[in-house]
Structures are given as structure tokens and as C-alpha cells.
A and B are shown apart, each in its own frame.
Chain A
Amino acid sequence: MFEKVLTRNFSLPRSESIDTYLANGGYQALQKVLREYTPEQVIEMVTASGLRGRGGAGFPAGRKWAFIPKDPQIEKYVCVNTDEGEPGTFKDRELVEKDPHQVIEGVIIASYAVGAHRAFVYIRGEFFLGVKRWIKAIDDAYAKGFLGKNILGSGFSLDLSVHRGAGAYICGEETALIESLEGKRGQPRKKPPYPASVGLWGKPTLVHNVETLANVPHIINRGAEWYASIGTPKSTGPKIFCVSGHVKNRGIFELPLGVPLREILYEYAGGMAFDKKLKAVIPGGASTPMLTPDQLDIPMAFETLEAAGTMLGTGAIIVMNEDTCMVDVARRLMRFFAHESCGHCTPCRTGTTRMLALLEDLEHGRGKAEDIERLEEIASKMRGLTFCPMGDAAANPILSSLKLFRDEYEYHVKYKRCAVAA
């Protein structure tokens, strides 16, 4: 049985309170860091641990921290990305609602490591409970001297504040998040320059997903070697997987990276609901290409999924059974991307709406054979042309479903209805 790390406090009564956190070894890592380690040493530890970003991109965290300029005269910031909006993903919400202090401790350590004295939480406006929990947790942390001036007498100061987003998935992209914090439309910025050089108000900024930061106290407490022993050599540490769709037990499951997909589905999520047959699995959130039943033995890690032509992304697993119409799935996902497109660049704004129009026609029996070709054309041509990676994300479900279930599209054209019970 895998020993829980990130979710170990979740089932405790009032798990979100600082008292619970402290009673279970909370803020020990922070004290250790402030007493015993220099910022460089902290960065070394995190690098050695192999921690990779849990927000979707999987970029090595330690390397990202090292990009921040070391000059103490330069002001720098840390942003906590709680703008979880990828369909299928709900782990960050759970972390924030059930154990916010774990993340706060991670933020403080990360800020110390890069020399930031102001940190900002950017949270989805819809997460009302999350906002309340964040604010309470931060207030309590200030009260106990874990935040504010001269933390625990170390000389290091950090201010942490909470900022509500207002309903835009694109603000989960780090540069769009920064734009939104600055009070502007959530339009991604061009990269380069990267936020590590030019970020919030032009200053170097470290943007991290909630789950990534939650790992940090544990790396400090138990060592980089211990952390790296979990998971695979290239994908270290525990991961909170989200399982939704046609399984018996929907929810989050904390397991080491590299666990086979089959194990998550059948041992933890209880297998298929109503004993239906599995048709397809989205492994890492809506932007990741699908897997088929014959691929269930794949280890859920960054490198293995990439090699299989898909991505780990956020580790949000959406399970679809034999009764699912894949054209409808593609349409639903395209509705999401068309709605969330920021509108800045031509291919995304126009491509998503064109594809949605084609999918609506196909789904409702108005589709023609060339519509399928057009759909594939737009999706494949759009990739790599857009201002930010959301264009690729929008194209993936189309290309994936066409590759695996083209016959369903053709059925829609020929018979003007779904091949399966919708």
C-alpha cells in the first residue's frame, strides 16, 4: 500500500486547519530550511529530487528556480497557480481545500530559495471555498510567524496574498496569469522573454502549480534521495491522479509516478461502472491524446506517455465506456476550447470555432464526408502556429479521436446519428 505523502492529512478532521497541520509535523521543513540551508542548497535539493511541474508541462522545478537571477537588488516574485481549469482535473482544488498549509509551506521555502519577498496566489474565481480556506490559512500562518517580516527570526520576510481570477481557463497559462494579476485581459505573452527574466511588473517571477509546491516540504523533510526513490528515474515522486468518467469510484488517488494505468483504473477506481466495457481513456486532462484499452499497461509517467504519443499533463484520467460517442466527446471538448480561447491569434480563435461548427454539424446529422477532412485539416494545420500552446491543446482531441475512431465520424455522416448510445 503506497504511503500517502501529499494527501496524508486529507481524511483527518479539520484537515485544513493550522493546528492539524502542525500536529502532524507541519512547518518543520520550513524551520529546517531557515536554520540550516542556504537558498542555493535548497535549489540543489529540489533539483536532485527530480521534482517536475505538476501543472501540465512537467518542467524540472529545480531548474526553473535556478533561472531566477540571484542578485538580491532585483525584486522577484512567486505566483501560486491555483487556476485549475483543465477538464478532468480537480486535484489542486482538493489540496487547497483540505491541506492549504502544505502548499503555503512550499511557497515559503520556494520564495526563500529564489529570494522573493512577495508571493501571490492566483485562484479560480469559482473556487469560493478555496478562497476562504486560503485566506484563513494565510492569516493563521501570519499569526504564528510563518509569514511576514523576519520569519521565525531568520531575517527572511515574505508576504503572501490571495487574488481571485474571474473565469478564464487561459489564465492558467503562466504569462496569462501574470497579465491577469497585473489587472489586464488574460492574454498570454510572447516567450521569450520567459517569466524568470521578465514576469510580473517586469520582474523575474516563478510561477508554480499548487501540487508542485506541495511536494517541496516533503523533499526537505525526508531528503532528495528518498523523493527520487519514488516513481521512475525521469518522473520522480508521488502524484495525485484524478479519475472521472465511467468508473465505479471517481476521485483522487495519490500514487507514485510510473504506476500502470490499469492499476489506477481497476485497483483504485474500482473498475468500470456498471461493468461496461472500456472504450478510451484520456490520460492527462482534456488536452492530451487518448489511449485505448490495449494500452492500459502503460506506466503513468512523463516519459512513457510522451513515448506513446500522448502526455501526462495534469494526471487527470477521464474514462469512457463503450456507450460513449466519440464525436460527441470531441464536440464537447471543442466547445470548451472555443469558449476559453483568448482570441488574440487567428488560428486558435478561428480554428476552434470552425472545428466546433463542423463537429456540431456532424453530431446533429448535418455533416458531409468532406467535413471530416476539413476537421482533420484544421486540427493538423493549426498545431504549432498559435501564439500559445492552447492551440495545440485544442487540436489534440480531434486528431486523437479521428485517428482512433474515424469510423464513428463516418457513421455520423452516413447515417446521420451516433453509432453508439449517446
Chain B
Amino acid sequence: MAMVNLTINGQKVSAPAGSTVLQAARLANIDIPTLCDHPALAPIGACRMCLVEVKGQRTLQPACTFPIAEGMEVQTESQPVTDARKFVLDLLFAERNHYCMYCEMSGDCELQALGYRYGIDHWVYPTYTKRFPVDASRKYFLMDHNRCILCRRCVRACSELVANHTLGVRQRGAASMIQADMDVPFGQSTCVSCGTCLQVCPTGALVDKRSAFMGRDIQTQHIQSTCAQCSIGCGMEIVTRDGNVLRIEGDWNAPVNAGLLCQKGRFDPLYDARPRITKPLVRKNGVLKEVDWDTAVQIVVQALKDTNAKDWGVLTTTYATNEALYLLDKLFRQELGVTNVGLLNDVAPKMVEKANGSLADVNNSDIILLVGANPASEQPVASFFIKRALNKGARLIVVDDQENGLAAFASMNLGMAEVEKAIEFAQRATNPVVLYGAGVTSEAARALQKLSGKAAFVALEPGVNTRAAAALGLNSGFDPSASKALYVLLGEQNWNGELVKKDAFVIVQASYQSPLTERADVVLPMAIWAERTGTVTNTEGRIQKVNKAVEPKGEAKPDWEILSLLASKMGKKIGTSLDEVSAHAAQAIHPS
């Protein structure tokens, strides 16, 4: 990579050829204020905050778009530059109604921060008396047009990052307004509530409803973790204050999603209104009663000793950590010899010996085959990646017998039996990618082998930690209605337990009340996603850390800890420290 040498404020700076002045300045830790710029978005040079002096240029140039050249001389703090910045800020503050005193963003607002920096303490130019609308029709966040500076980060995020294209700018000049679809209330639009626009907005224009006014950045903690709502495993930050979860943000530095999240990951977990199980429960005289952990564990251990291994059934959700799944396997299958172990969701078939593709391959592909999977509703972030590739000229072929959310974007929609047609196109492609889910029939799977070595295969596993569960062999697919006793690692999943034998002895490890817990004989309270540390394996086989952000509610314990407790009470030494268990789990899962 050729390097270019320039000077910024007299300081020698070296940056890769093709960089902008802004990128070069950042490399040298020279600060240039910006508003419409965002590291994840293509620069547009609209706000004019980043104007700098470039020797030889007649006018000030925007650093975010101006390309560097050998020997260039740049001044970022000269009088003309600071005058220009102050002028742009004066105009911005005059354009709409920026009343910091009662804005929830006050203290974290990029516009306000620049205002303070450049000594804006009154409106210089006559302000609008016009009131701009507030759109609160979306469930999770609202748009206050009074605070919008038309930086268009939201529009760019919606089209460049999420490729959903819900947002646009209507009209022109000072009449420009951010609009959704055909200027409908956001709550009635094609918005998928991924919240990316919310995360990139520099001012208080886009505001998360639930966490509004609940704390400034300096008052909150940001804990890095991995989303555990689907198998993509997006990197996220859990924002907490005084032991309460305020909101979830996408981690811009995460390798899988680079900051993107979807409604399932960003909002749904915080709006879960199901009652929590906070204490161990045991059925006495037909009624569930609260007991302490020792009592509950004793009853479970007794049941494990009393009932024959062949009469046991073990079911697990995949909304569980690697550690929990590993311990479940170790305790029940290996130590106790239980063979009936199954998953509460489907698994995608194994397509190739060594899975050779990653989600990043979607971005570089020219033909994408989507076979037996519906990421538009199950793994939305994967559907964002697909649509981004389509925006760049890739073509999509959907092969599915069910209704598929991406059908409208596909150049071809085929039934599973017609998969050969899709394979023909993929064979002629340069970088074909096959994204496949649990809906692939065995015939189709066999046919797709033709593309082995040519296409990148990426599974879109249903559930969450399905990859780990499958690797551990936990999907034997037995019939739970035959089991006399059932151990169900239900976790956060909802299940009505319809297949459970009427008089079976049921032990449930769960976080929320559900028909199954109501029917169970023993309920062990389990910590939820924000309350436990461990690891999960995403659909690519990538092992990522999930971190505890708040204390478990009541007496709930992390999923793996419950199993470890049971094991030690039974005298089985299968790991008590998290690090130990994580290491063993990683080895056992052998991600390919």
C-alpha cells in the first residue's frame, strides 16, 4: 500500500494513498470536528463542519471528502477555519428548534458539544418560529424533526448498512425533511426497527423511548457482549446504570455485524414482559411452592438417581451458552448415560465436511443462493448483508417451499425441487454463496454438493447456539411423549410442552413463566442474556464471549452454573470454574 506524505498544522503525516484529509488527520490524532461524517458510512461533505485550509486551493475544502496528495499542506486551526466552523454552527442552531435544556440528548449531543467548543451561547441569526413535527408512531424510538440537522446519517445507514431503504429526504432546500417511504408515519412504514439510524444520529432527533432521560454516557456502563437472539451472533454493547439495563447498542468493532443489530436483538429483549422465575419451585400437593436451592437440587438429584437412564429425556433450547450445552452433554449423556437428548429447534443439515464460508463472503458474491432459510424474519442481520450485496449488483435466487421474506428481491424464486436451476447459475458465477437453513431437503442437499469447492457454504442455523448443540451431538431427535422423566433446559424460550407425557416427572431450567413451567414438577430459575457470562458459537462456527451486565434477578443462576451445581451434588467432577468449562466446551465443539 503506497503511502502519501503531507503536513497537517506543520506536523508530518503519512497515510495510505486514496485516503481523505480527515482519515489522514485521524491517523495522526489530529482532531477535525465533523457532524455528517460517520466511520461506518460513506462521507458526503454536507455539513461543512470539517472545512480546512489546503494550500493552493482557492476555497476551504471539506476534509472528509478531499483526497490527500503528496506534499499537501493543511491547516485545521487557522482563523478562516475556525470562523467557518462557528458560522456553520450559528446557521445550524438557527435552522430548527434546538432547545438543549429539555432535550434528552443534552450532554451526549455532538451538535451541542461543538456549540460549547466554539462558544455558541446565543442565536445569532433569526430563528424559525415554525414548529417541526415529532413522530412517535414507531414502537421503540421517536423522531423529533426539531432537532434534525439534516446530516442524513440515518438515511445513509438505512440504505448503505441495512439496505432497507425506508428513509429518504423529501423536497429540497430548507424544506428538506427526513421521510419514511411515501412520507408516512414511521410506525406505518417499511421500517424494520433495526435501530441503526437511532445509533448513528448525532443529535436528539432520534431518541430511544425506553432509555430516554435515564442517564448520560458518563453515568452509564457499556458492557461488551454477544447477542443471543439468533445464530448470527452480533456483537453488542449492553448499556446499564446502577444495575439496570437501559438499552442495547451495536458494537461497531464487532467482526460479524460491525455495529448492525435488528429488532430481535436490540429491542425485543428489553420489552419482554413475561413474568420471571426468580426462586426455585417444587410441586407439593399439586401446587408449585417456592423453595431454596438446596431443597430443589436435592429433589432433582434424587430423581436422577431413582429413574433409569433410558426413561429419561433431555430437551434443550439453543438459547444457551456453550458451557451449558457442554455440561448438559457431559452430565446427562456421558456421566448418566441418557441417550434421548434433543433440541427444541431444527438444525440445518451438514452440507460440506468443513464449512468453508463466512457471512463476509456474501458481500463479495455475485450470485447468492438462499436455500431453505428465511433470514428476513429469523436472522434479519443476514438479510441486511444479502440486500447490501444486491445493491452492489449481486443477484439472488431463493429456493424455498415456504414463503420467503426476500422473494421480492430475488431474480428467481424456485421450489426446493427446482434447485438444479439455481445450481446451474451458481456454476457460472465467479463468487457464488450458498446460504442454507433447516428447510433444505435431503435431495436438495445432495444436489448442492455439485457446488462444493466452487461456492462458499454458509449455514443460517435456526435457534441461537445451534452450531454448538449440533457439534456436541445433542440432536438425536427422540419422541418426548415416551419419556417418563424429562429434564428441559428451557432457558428464555417459550414452549407449551405439548408433547410431554401427562404423568411424566418434569424438571425445567427456565427464566420465564410459561405453560411448561406451570406444568413442571421442579423449576430451576435461570439467568437471562444480560445476567450471565459465557460463550456462544455462531452459525459460522465462531466462538464469541457473552458478558454479564447485571446481577441475576432474585435467585436465578446462569445456565451452566445450575448444571455444574447438579453435577457436584451428584459427586460428578465435571467443572466448576467458568474458564475451565469454557475451555473444555470450546474443545468439544471443535468449530470448523
- The contact string, 1 if C-beta is below 8 Å from chain B, for chain A 335-366, is 00011111111110111111001100100000
- The listed residue (A192, A358, A374, A385) touching B67 by CB distance below 8 A is A192
B94 touches A354 (CB 8 A): yes
Chain A residues near B172: list those with CB within 8 A: 168, 185, 341-343
Known: A190-B65, A343-B150, A343-B175. A385 touches B45 (CB 8 A): no
Which of B81-89, B237-245, B300-308 forms part of the interface with chain A?
B81-89
A354 touches B87 (CB 8 A): no
A381 touches B83 (CB 8 A): yes
Indicate whether B174 reaches chain A with its CB closer than 8 angstroms.
yes
CA distance A340 to B60 in the complex (A): 23
A187: min CB distance to chain B, Å: 9
B46 touches A387 (CB 8 A): yes
Indicate whether B212 reaches chain A with its CB closer than 8 angstroms.
no
Sort chain B's interface into a size bin. 20 to 34
CA distance A190 to B46 in the complex (A): 10
A338 touches B173 (CB 8 A): yes
- The contact string, 1 if C-beta is below 8 Å from chain A, for chain B 150-190, is 10000000000000000001011111100000000000000
Identity of the chain A residue whose Cβ is nearest the Cβ of B80 in the assembled complex: A384
A353 touches B174 (CB 8 A): yes
B32: min CB distance to chain A, Å: 15
Indicate whether B91 reaches chain A with its CB closer than 8 angstroms.
yes
A351 touches B176 (CB 8 A): no
A351 touches B91 (CB 8 A): yes
CA distance A353 to B44 in the complex (A): 22
Indicate whether A378 reaches chain B with its CB closer than 8 angstroms.
yes
CA distance A357 to B38 in the complex (A): 32
- The listed residue (A192, A358, A386) touching B126 by CB distance below 8 A is A358
Identity of the chain A residue whose Cβ is nearest the Cβ of B91 in the assembled complex: A350
Indicate whether B48 reaches chain A with its CB closer than 8 angstroms.
yes
B175 touches A387 (CB 8 A): no
- The contact string, 1 if C-beta is below 8 Å from chain A, for chain B 558-571, is 00000000000000
- The contact string, 1 if C-beta is below 8 Å from chain A, for chain B 69-93, is 0000000000000011001100110
Known: A190-B65, A381-B83, A385-B51. A349 touches B45 (CB 8 A): no
Chain A residues near B125: list those with CB within 8 A: 354, 374, 378
- The contact string, 1 if C-beta is below 8 Å from chain B, for chain A 93-106, is 00000000000000
B94 touches A350 (CB 8 A): yes
A192: min CB distance to chain B, Å: 7
Chain B residues near A347: list those with CB within 8 A: 48, 87-88, 91
Q: How many A-B residue pairs have CB under 8 A?
A: 90
Indicate whether B47 reaches chain A with its CB closer than 8 angstroms.
yes
> How many residues on A have C-beta within 8 angstroms of the other chain's C-beta atoms?
31
Known: A352-B173, A357-B126, A385-B51. A346 touches B45 (CB 8 A): no
Indicate whether B59 reaches chain A with its CB closer than 8 angstroms.
yes
Chain B residues near A342: list those with CB within 8 A: 172-173
Known: A349-B174, A354-B125. A385 touches B87 (CB 8 A): yes
- The contact string, 1 if C-beta is below 8 Å from chain A, for chain B 43-66, is 011111001000000111010010
Mark out the residues of chain A between 279 and 311 whose CB falls within 8 Å of any chain B CB in the assembled complex.
none
A385 touches B174 (CB 8 A): no
Identity of the chain A residue whose Cβ is nearest the Cβ of B67 in the assembled complex: A192
Chain A residues near B51: list those with CB within 8 A: 385
B123: min CB distance to chain A, Å: 11
- The listed residue (B44, B67, B95, B175) touching A350 by CB distance below 8 A is B95
B48 touches A387 (CB 8 A): yes
Chain A residues near B176: list those with CB within 8 A: 343, 349
Chain B residues near A168: list those with CB within 8 A: 172
- The listed residue (A344, A354, A361) touching B46 by CB distance below 8 A is A344
A384: min CB distance to chain B, Å: 4
A386 touches B58 (CB 8 A): no
CA distance A342 to B172 in the complex (A): 5
A354: min CB distance to chain B, Å: 5
Chain B residues near A384: list those with CB within 8 A: 58-60
B174 touches A343 (CB 8 A): yes
B87 touches A352 (CB 8 A): no
B173 touches A385 (CB 8 A): no
CA distance A175 to B46 in the complex (A): 16
Chain A residues near B91: list those with CB within 8 A: 346-347, 350-351, 354, 378
CA distance A347 to B171 in the complex (A): 17
B58 touches A346 (CB 8 A): no
- The listed residue (A338, A374, A381) touching B174 by CB distance below 8 A is A338
B126 touches A350 (CB 8 A): no
B321: min CB distance to chain A, Å: 48
Known: A343-B150, A357-B126, A387-B48. A381 touches B87 (CB 8 A): yes
A383: min CB distance to chain B, Å: 8
CA distance A243 to B48 in the complex (A): 37
- The listed residue (B48, B94, B150) touching A386 by CB distance below 8 A is B48
Identity of the chain B residue whose Cβ is nearest the Cβ of A342 in the assembled complex: B172
CA distance A347 to B150 in the complex (A): 12
CA distance A343 to B169 in the complex (A): 10
CA distance A354 to B67 in the complex (A): 32
A308: min CB distance to chain B, Å: 19
A119: min CB distance to chain B, Å: 26
Chain A residues near B46: list those with CB within 8 A: 344-346, 387
A352-B173, A374-B125, A385-B51 given; 5 more Cβ-contact pairs under 8 Å = A342-B173, A343-B150, A345-B48, A353-B173, A381-B84
Interface residues of A (CB under 8 A from B): 168, 185, 190, 192, 338-347, 349-354, 357-358, 361, 374, 378, 381-382, 384-387
Interface residues of B (CB under 8 A from A): 44-48, 51, 58-60, 62, 65, 67, 83-84, 87-88, 91-92, 94-95, 124-126, 149-150, 169, 171-176
Per CB-CB distance, the 10 closest pairs between chain A and chain B, nearest first, are A384-B59, A341-B173, A343-B176, A350-B91, A353-B174, A343-B173, A343-B172, A381-B87, A350-B95, A354-B125
